[in-house]
């Protein structure tokens, strides 16, 4: 399962990209606004694109297909390999099917059910973004939707990539991998939390302490022989 970072924060993206563990970035209007309500979106997106050369989803804000297609043209003029992120509404599907005919990558976002995922796949979506955490937040089993979508995809031989979104903690990442998501897009915090284990820290501390002890012994014995 590939990992993307779900962020519009340059420092977070730079730090995680340097680890070599992410292959893409997803953004949305809320993430951009959270960074700076007056952010120049084009500039920020191009900055992110320079940092992480792989997948970059940029979301449209129109709610009609013509407006979405106009925005897609604008974004593609910023950089032609952009993935256009489009909400899972009827007008969004119209735009997705047009863009798919043109060979443009699309990410259908705000998917909360297998039926929505199936519709997005059939419209030609490159990615279907299933929001796990937001389902958990309202006492639905978000991970079950990932499992159901995977099962349907395998039975039917469907090919939109299953992108698990709205990830809240490291166990979501593990469960998404077990459930067969192709990609999980995660905020900075769960990515960094997923690297940690207390036994790694205590193990490293004791390796370093033993090495220091050994160095001290070597120094002591070389002093006593001189
Ligand atoms: C996905 O692409 C979305 O940007 C994101 O995962 C939403 O997550 P949230 O529920 O934490 O806002």
Cα-to-chain-centroid distance, residue 207: 35
Model confidence pTM above 0.85: yes
Task: Compute, in angstroms, the gap from residue 220 CA to the centroid of ligand 1.
Answer: 58
What are the φ/ψ torsions at residue 129 (nearest 5 degrees)?
A: -95, 110
Measured between its terminal Cα atoms, the distance across the chain in Å is 58
Residue 109, beta-bridge partner list: 87
CB 53 within 8 A of CB 46: no
213 is catalytic: no
pLDDT, position 210: 98
Residue 182 CA: distances (Å) to CA of 7, 13, 86: 19, 21, 19
* Span 99-132, pLDDT tens digits: 999 999 999 999 999 999 999 999 999 999 999 9
pLDDT tens-place values along the chain, 226 residues long: 999 999 999 999 999 999 999 999 999 999 999 988 888 999 999 999 999 988 999 999 999 999 999 999 999 999 999 999 999 999 999 999 999 999 999 999 999 999 999 999 999 999 999 999 999 999 999 999 999 999 999 999 999 999 999 999 999 999 999 999 999 999 999 999 999 999 999 999 999 999 999 999 999 988 887 6
DSSP, collapsed to helix, strand or coil, labels residue 155 as helix
Mutate to test the pocket of ligand 1, among 166, 168, 190 (most ligand atoms within 8 A of CB): 166
Assigned token pair, 70: 């106009």
Q: Calculate ∠ Cα 7-64-140, nearest 5°.
A: 55
User: Which atom of ligand 1 sits closest to the CA of residue 137?
Assistant: 10
CB 146: neighbour CB atoms within 10 A? Answer: 27
């Amino acid at each position: 399962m590939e990992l993307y970072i779900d962020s519009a924060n340059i420092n977070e993206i730079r730090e995680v990209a340097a680890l070599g563990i992410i292959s893409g970035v997803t953004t949305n209007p809320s993430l951009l606004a959270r960074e700076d309500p007056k952010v120049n979106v084009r500039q920020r997106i191009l900055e992110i694109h320079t940092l992480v050369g792989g997948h970059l989803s940029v979301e449209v804000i129109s709610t009609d297909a013509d407006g979405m297609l106009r925005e897609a043209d604008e974004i593609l003029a910023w950089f032609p390999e952009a993935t256009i992120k489009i909400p899972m509404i009827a007008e969004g599907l119209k735009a997705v099917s047009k863009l798919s005919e043109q060979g443009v990558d699309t990410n259908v976002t705000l998917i909360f059910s297998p039926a929505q995922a199936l519709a997005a796949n059939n419209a030609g979506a490159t990615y279907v973004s299933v929001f796990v955490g937001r389902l958990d937040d309202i006492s639905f089993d978000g991970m079950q939707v990932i499992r159901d979508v995977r099962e349907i995809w395998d039975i039917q031989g469907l090919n939109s990539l299953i992108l698990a979104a709205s990830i809240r903690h490291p166990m979501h990442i593990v469960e998404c991998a077990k459930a067969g998501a192709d990609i999980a897009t995660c905020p900075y915090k769960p990515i960094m939390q997923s690297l940690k284990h207390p036994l790694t820290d205590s193990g490293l501390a004791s390796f370093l302490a033993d090495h220091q002890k050994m160095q001290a012994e070597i120094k002591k014995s070389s002093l006593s022989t001189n």
